């Protein structure tokens, strides 16, 4: 992934700024820190790219989702519509908010579909947690209209889609609140980190306070600050934020190169019979972190994966069998294997997770193979990769396998 490909002097400089002050905590210690505020700077860099009015850096993309749910007022007993195809943190955030996940169908955008959301809405639905998967975006205009029609909150998990946009507005900014991930595997990394974004000042105030034990951050004596709400510790440290500063500055370049490399691969692989691609609601806004191939059916995709493995083709994900990104493998969730009881186990689940019927999602993810786009690829490397992919797919789809 691009973030881990481009480490260099810029990241070292930002980290060294912090080490020279010795102040690793994001708040207070004004006199000792020599005006070095990396978490604040990280937030400003995110705002420059997304044009968000407010941004707040936290410890992970997962905690950014938790802040977004809290800022939207989602809590105990609220039903929240979620996708079955996502990194499981999205669903975990709903559970640990005390809310109740309701799974709905995705479509070829790889995100929740408006039709899937509409079919899952009940009188108890309070929010849609819309996850923008694999660098692209959902059919966001239709989903925004549906949420307004039904008077339910829209919260966006854009953990995999920082830098993606729809008709000029960046994902994460269509609902009450949004979130980005800056973990080790994203378009930009802080090692561990996330950023909450919103254009709603009250939502921002709630998130900023909620993420730091309820501190209001007014004054210069932390021990005497007021606590307008109850919160917890989701703070980011200055060292992680320092890496995030340098990495976020690289994102415009990374997206440019991603798009060039993805366009090259798409042009080559589109010549292969039986191969199509995931659908982007706005191709011009693609962050292009993944090339998402769709095979004719699940059986074909499994044969292709087998050929890829036999030929040593790396850098791809077959999400249908992935342990953390698709519901088929979430037995611990389906059977509520928890360390301690959650609200859902007291209130009752809105669905029987062991008997979910999501045929469209099964069909789409069963056909899906994703390649992470590398920003450092040369044209020769891409040509060689395309040749291997083509040979494997043609072998897997040949009549002898039919």
Q: Is the Cβ–Cβ distance between 76 and 99 less than 8 Å? A: yes
Point out which residues pair with 80 in neighbouring strands. 101, 127
Calpha distance 163→165 (Å, rounded): 7
Starting from the edge strand earliest in sequence, which strands make up the sheet with 290-294, in order? 276-277, 290-294, 368-372, 316-317
Catalytic pick among 186, 257, 262, 302: 186
Residue found by looking up tokens 């108890």 in the block: 124
First-residue to last-residue Cα distance in the chain:
35
DSSP-derived pairing of the beta strands 165-166 and 276-277: unpaired
Residue 186 is among the residues annotated as catalytic for this protein: yes
Backbone angles phi, psi at 187, to 5 degrees: -60, -30
Point out which residues pair with 212 in neighbouring strands. 233
Q: For residues 331-346, b (16+ Cβ closer than 10 Å) or e, as one string?
A: eebbeeeeeeeebbee
Residue found by looking up tokens 């997206």 in the block: 255
DSSP, residue by residue, 49-83: HH--SEEEEES-HHHHHHHHHHHTT--TT-EEEE-
Task: Tell me which residues are annotated as active site.
Answer: 186
């Amino acid at each position: 992934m691009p973030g881990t490909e481009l480490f260099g002097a810029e990241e070292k400089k930002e980290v060294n700024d912090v080490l020279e002050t010795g102040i690793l905590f994001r708040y207070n210690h004004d006199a000792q820190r020599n005006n070095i505020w990396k978490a604040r700077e990280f937030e400003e860099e995110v705002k420059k790219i997304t044009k968000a009015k407010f941004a707040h850096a936290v410890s992970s993309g997962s905690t950014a989702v938790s802040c977004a749910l809290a800022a939207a007022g989602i809590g105990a007993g609220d039903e929240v519509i979620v996708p079955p195809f996502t990194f499981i943190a999205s669903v975990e955030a709903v559970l640990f908010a005390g809310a109740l996940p309701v799974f709905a169908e995705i479509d070829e955008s790889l995100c929740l579909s408006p039709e899937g959301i509409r079919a899952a809405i009940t009188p108890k639905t309070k929010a849609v947690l819309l996850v923008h998967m694999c660098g692209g975006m959902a059919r966001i205009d239709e989903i925004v209209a549906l949420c307004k029609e039904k008077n339910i909150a829209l919260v966006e998990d854009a953990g995999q889609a920082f830098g993606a946009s729809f008709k000029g507005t960046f994902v994460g900014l269509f609902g009450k609140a949004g979130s980005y991930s800056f973990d080790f595997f994203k378009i930009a990394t802080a090692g561990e980190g996330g950023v909450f974004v919103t254009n709603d000042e009250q939502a921002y105030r709630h998130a900023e306070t909620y993420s730091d034990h309820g501190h209001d951050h007014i004054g210069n004596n932390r021990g005497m600050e007021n606590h307008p709400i109850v919160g917890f510790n989701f703070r980011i440290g200055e060292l992680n934020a320092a890496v995030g500063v340098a990495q976020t500055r690289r994102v415009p370049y990374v997206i440019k190169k991603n798009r060039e490399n993805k366009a090259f691969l798409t042009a080559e692989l589109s010549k292969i019979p039986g191969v199509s691609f995931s659908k982007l609601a706005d191709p011009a806004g693609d962050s292009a972190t993944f090339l998402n191939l769709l095979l004719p059916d699940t059986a074909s995709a499994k044969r292709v994966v087998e050929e890829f493995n036999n030929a040593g083709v790396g850098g791809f994900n077959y999400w249908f069998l992935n342990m953390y990104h698709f519901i088929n493998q979430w037995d611990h969730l389906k059977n509520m294997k928890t360390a301690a009881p959650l609200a859902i186990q007291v209130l009752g689940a809105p669905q029987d997770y062991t008997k979910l019927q999501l045929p469209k999602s099964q069909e789409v993810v069963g056909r899906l193979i994703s390649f992470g786009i590398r920003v450092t690829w040369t044209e020769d490397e891409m040509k060689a990769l395309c040749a291997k992919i083509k040979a494997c797919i043609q072998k897997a789809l040949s009549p002898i396998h039919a």
